[in-house]
Amino acid sequence: MKKEPFPVSNIRRFLEPGPIVLVGSHWKGRDNLMTLGWHVVLEFSPSLVGLMISSGNHTFEMVRQSKECTINVPTLPLIDKVVGIGNCSGADTDKFEKFELTRADSREVEAPSVGECHANLECRLVEDKLVPSLNFFVFEVVAARAAPRPKYPKTFHYYGEGKFMTAGPVVDRSRLFKPSMLL
């Protein structure tokens, strides 16, 4: 999949709708991937996002130590792999190998990007005050790449109980916005 650099201040397009994402991490010569739905956009510029990474996950210590990760946005054809990634552990599994995903180099961080994902966001840890109590990490997105088309990728979103919502039609209400609100 051919990707292009994407402005980090605009990555809300990929995260605010709430899709399931893959978090990539790298620590002590090993890579890992984690399936995650508990994320939030926090600021445009600097580009900040929050992730709740439960301490029971292998990714938790890798990210806490390396202070880096990638956030990768998968589309519907990847759903079975994404579910599989969420149902095994990096403690005993090389997930790139097991799920036959492309370990793509990132530009600004050591954590790997997922070649097959629509967008790859490279992140550095900037705030960890809520990690001890809530496992909540705040990252700055320092680089991003995305496929130029489609503008609105076919993401999937988790309801729980093994059920997912898939992205439906796009509706345009820009005529109802004040110009200053059309960020």
Residue nearer to a second copy on the CB measure, 13 or 110: 13
Determine, following the binding rule CB under 8 A, whether residue 41 of this chain makes contact with a second copy: yes
What is the C-alpha to C-alpha distance for residues 137 and 84, in angstroms, rounded to an integer?
A: 24
Among 66, 103, 124, 127, binds a second copy (CB under 8 A): 127
Determine, following the binding rule CB under 8 A, whether residue 28 of this chain makes contact with a second copy: no
What is the C-alpha to C-alpha distance for residues 143 and 121, in angstroms, rounded to an integer?
A: 6
Determine, following the binding rule CB under 8 A, whether residue 95 of this chain makes contact with a second copy: no
What is the C-alpha to C-alpha distance for residues 42 and 47, in angstroms, rounded to an integer?
A: 8
Q: Give the E-state strand segments of 2-160 in sequence order.
A: 4-5, 21-27, 30-36, 39-43, 48-52, 68-73, 103-104, 113-114, 119-127, 136-146, 156-160
3-state secondary structure of 72: strand
Closest by CA position to 35, among listed 133, 117, 134: 117
Residue nearer to a second copy on the CB measure, 19 or 112: 19
Determine, following the binding rule CB under 8 A, whether residue 134 of this chain makes contact with a second copy: yes
Determine, following the binding rule CB under 8 A, whether residue 40 of this chain makes contact with a second copy: yes
Residue nearer to a second copy on the CB measure, 2 or 129: 129
Among 28, 87, 91, 148, binds a second copy (CB under 8 A): 87
Among 29, 45, 105, 133, binds a second copy (CB under 8 A): 133
CB of 110 to a second copy, least distance (A): 26
Determine, following the binding rule CB under 8 A, whether residue 86 of this chain makes contact with a second copy: yes
From residue 21, alpha-carbon distances to 9, 44, 73, 85, 103 in Å are: 18, 19, 5, 11, 16
Determine, following the binding rule CB under 8 A, whether residue 162 of this chain makes contact with a second copy: yes
Q: Which residues bind a second copy (CB under 8 A)?
A: 10, 12-13, 16-19, 37-43, 48, 50, 52, 79-80, 83-84, 86-87, 127, 129-130, 133-134, 136, 138, 152, 155-178, 181-183
